[in-house]
């Protein structure tokens, strides 16, 4: 099929970005996306691939950035830019068709003022990796804790706009989630062009992936924009990994150029692909596909970095570790893990992968991007969610990623997702039930507890408690903290507490408390001082507990 080149912009009117069709002087706020358009003086048979338009922006200090523009339908090309500095920015367009006077050598200015709103993503600026290469922070240095939810298919029409999408975003914002993982139209667990992958405007591409459907991305725009307005960072997953052999590297580069042009001005994170080296479920040449994908995603990572003017952090969702999903881990900004969906049987793999990634070179933040979705296989309930969060974070992770079975695939009571290509379903729990499972609220409370302390300065310190977890017993406590300032321990079991806190610093007074990870209720234990070790009393309830020791 050939998509019509009429304007699709009516479907994106809720985007609420400033737009100037003949912009010469554009007003903007620092770290806020501003958008303007150009009208082509020529027609093209395939505007998506026949011509490229870039906007060269010179900031007030004379630094130049090259911003890709995107075809938005009919004769219209648009650009989005997020100024990082106060003052006057000048811009000019460069087209691969210099004879097109509507797209080439257009010029103007952007006058950027301070942001006066309350959204922390705009107030503090986009994300980056901190200088310690252990955690994330905003552009102004404010630490950012990664607590992600997983909405792989959140752009499909089963999650209706606006009512469903806004309800789920509001719930996650209220609980303290800061990131949502969402796939840009080329989905897992279904064949190509499966009707389950369509949104209100259809599919993102024609059958040959040569022509793009701007209307699909107009509908996606309002959702991505709403996440940002809800103080939630979109982690944009470009596709599922097995689409690379289908499209090839050059078409995948064009796909990623379009995503960056659409969403690079937002405080977004780039995830190159989901399960990057996993071949298609029914592939007849899985080893060849996997090798091609590993090499291809390495090349794509370099390409994405080269055209991503705002330097959005880059990773790839793996079957195991992002580091091993590409040929050179240095092309990534942070390591993402996937460690299993087998309830408590996934604990050893989870803890081992986090600790090994934390110790690996090059040093980079590590986040578990997929583990034990709540309710998957009628298991992995809230107590497993709490364990995975605390074991990962206290082992050095820069945050944690949650998922609920029923949300990632957007089951509805009327339309469950159904079978994957391998022939079986992951379950029919509707997302309306799954979003209310208790694990999401309990992880939000856990993040809230850490936010009271300088969590970004913490490092793993299992040696501060005896006995502590080991490869012989993963159900012993986990510990982390800041020497002389803060100690936090997670006790997976407190049936018979016979542990001692050791290596206490002489002269340091700690205020100690038990914190209930189910309810958030705390029990004050008074002051600990004057000894090199301390035996904490038993908590009031037989369950997992968090012990906090803060310098008094």
Domain ranges of the chain: 9-113, 120-453, 459-551
pLDDT digits (tens, 9 = 90+) for 304-341: 999 999 999 999 999 999 999 999 999 999 999 999 99
DSSP symbols for 140-201: TS-EE-EEEEE-TTTTSTTS-TTHHHHHHHHHHHHHT--EEEEE-S--SSS-TT-GGG-BTT
Beta strands in 312-363 (DSSP E): 314-315, 335-338
Average pLDDT over residues 522-544: 93
- Determine the 3-state secondary structure of 333 from DSSP: coil
- At 25, is the pLDDT very low, low, confident or very high (cuts 50, 70, 90)? confident
- At 494, is the pLDDT very low, low, confident or very high (cuts 50, 70, 90)? confident
What tokens does 303 get? 């390409």
H helical segments located in 20-139: 47-50, 120-123
Average pLDDT over residues 260-270: 98
Average pLDDT over residues 112-141: 97
- Which residues are registered as beta bridge partners of 58? 64, 90
Q: What is the pLDDT of residue 286?
A: 96
- Determine the 3-state secondary structure of 354 from DSSP: helix
DSSP code of 464?
G
Does the pLDDT value for residue 23 go beyond 60? no
Q: What is the pLDDT of residue 501?
A: 97
In Å, how far are 167, 222, 234, 235, 487 from 163, measured between CA atoms?
6, 12, 19, 22, 43
- Phi first, then psi: what are they for 447, rounded to 5°? -60, -40
What tokens does 273 get? 């692909």
Give the domain 9-113 fold: Immunoglobulin-like (2.60.40)
Using CA atoms, how far apart are residues 55 and 93, in angstroms rounded to an integer?
A: 4
Does the pLDDT value for residue 19 go beyond 60? no
Which residue did the predictor score with more confidence, 2 or 285?
Answer: 285
Average pLDDT over residues 22-49: 92
Q: What is the pLDDT of residue 34?
A: 97
Instruction: Tell the residue number behind the tokens 């991305």, with chain if given.
Output: 217
Is there a shared CATH topology between the 9-113 domain and the 120-453 domain? no
- CATH class entry, domain 120-453: alpha beta
What tokens does 445 get? 């409370």
Does the pLDDT value for residue 441 go beyond 80? yes
- Determine the 3-state secondary structure of 212 from DSSP: strand
* pTM of the entire predicted model: 0.95
- Which residues are registered as beta bridge partners of 354? none
In Å, how far are 501, 536, 538 from 522, measured between CA atoms?
19, 14, 13
Using CA atoms, how far apart are residues 19 and 411, in angstroms rounded to an integer?
A: 36
Residue 251, burial from CB neighbour count under 10 angstroms (0-12, 13-18, 19+): middle
> Beta 64-68 vs 366-370: how paired, if at all?
unpaired
Q: Indicate left, alpha or beta for 263 from its phi (over 0: left) and psi (-120 to 50: alpha).
A: alpha
Using CA atoms, how far apart are residues 44 and 57, in angstroms rounded to an integer?
A: 26
Average pLDDT over residues 213-227: 98
Residue 423, burial from CB neighbour count under 10 angstroms (0-12, 13-18, 19+): exposed
H helical segments located in 268-346: 286-307
Residue 8, burial from CB neighbour count under 10 angstroms (0-12, 13-18, 19+): buried
């Amino acid at each position: 099929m050939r998509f019509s080149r009429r304007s699709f912009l009516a479907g994106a009117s809720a985007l609420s970005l400033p737009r100037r069709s003949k912009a010469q002087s554009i007003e903007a706020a620092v770290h806020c996306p501003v958008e303007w358009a150009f009208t082509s003086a020529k027609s093209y048979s395939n505007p998506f691939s026949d011509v490229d338009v870039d906007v060269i922006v010179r900031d007030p200090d004379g630094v130049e950035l090259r911003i890709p523009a995107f075809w938005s339908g009919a004769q219209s090309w648009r650009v989005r830019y997020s100024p990082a500095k106060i003052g006057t920015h000048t811009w000019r367009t460069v087209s691969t068709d210099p004879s097109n006077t509507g797209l080439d050598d257009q010029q103007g200015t952007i006058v950027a003022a301070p942001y006066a709103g309350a959204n922390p993503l705009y107030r503090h600026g986009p994300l980056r990796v901190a200088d310690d290469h252990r955690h994330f922070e905003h552009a102004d240095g404010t630490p950012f804790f990664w607590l992600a939810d997983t909405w792989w298919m959140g752009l499909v029409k089963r999650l209706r706009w606006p009512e469903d999408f806004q309800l789920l975003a509001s719930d996650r914002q209220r609980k303290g989630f800061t990131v949502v993982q969402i796939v840009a139209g080329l989905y897992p667990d279904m064949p190509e062009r499966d009707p389950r992958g369509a949104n209100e405007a259809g599919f993102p591409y024609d059958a040959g992936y040569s022509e793009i459907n701007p209307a699909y991305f107009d509908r996606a725009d309002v959702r991505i924009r709403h996440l940002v307005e809800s103080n939630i960072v979109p982690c944009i997953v470009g596709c599922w990994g097995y689409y690379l052999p289908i499209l090839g590297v050059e078409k995948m580069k064009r796909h990623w150029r379009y995503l960056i042009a659409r969403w690079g001005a937002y405080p977004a994170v780039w995830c190159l692909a989901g399960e990057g080296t996993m071949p298609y479920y029914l592939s007849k040449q899985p080893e060849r596909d996997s090798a091609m994908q590993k090499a291809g995603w390495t090349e794509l990572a370099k390409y994405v970095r080269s055209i991503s003017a705002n330097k959005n952090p880059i990773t790839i969702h793996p079957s195991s570790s992002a580091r091993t999903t590409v040929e050179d881990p240095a092309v990534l900004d942070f390591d993402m893990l996937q460690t299993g969906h087998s309830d408590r049987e996934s604990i050893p793999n989870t803890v081992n992968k986090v600790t090994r990634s934390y110790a690996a070179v090059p040093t980079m933040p590590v986040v578990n991007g997929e583990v034990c979705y709540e309710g998957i296989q009628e298991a992995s309930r809230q107590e497993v969610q709490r364990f995975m969060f605390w074991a990962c974070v206290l082992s050095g992770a820069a945050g944690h990623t949650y998922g609920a079975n029923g949300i990632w695939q957007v089951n509805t009571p009327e339309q469950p997702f159904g079978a994957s290509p391998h022939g079986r379903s992951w379950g029919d729990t509707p997302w309306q039930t799954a979003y209310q499972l208790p694990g999401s609220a309990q992880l939000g409370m856990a993040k809230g507890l850490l936010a009271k302390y300088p969590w970004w300065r913490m490092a793993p310190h299992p040696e501060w408690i005896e006995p502590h977890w080991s490869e012989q017993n993963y159900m012993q406590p986990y510990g982390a903290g800041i020497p002389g300032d803060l100690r936090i321990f997670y006790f997976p079991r407190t049936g018979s507490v016979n542990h001692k806190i050791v290596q206490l610093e002489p002269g340091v007074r700690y205020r100690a408390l038990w914190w209930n990870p189910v309810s958030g209720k705390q029990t004050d234990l008074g002051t600990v001082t004057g000894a090199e070790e301390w035996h904490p009393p038993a908590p009031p309830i037989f369950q997992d507990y968090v012990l906090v020791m803060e310098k008094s």
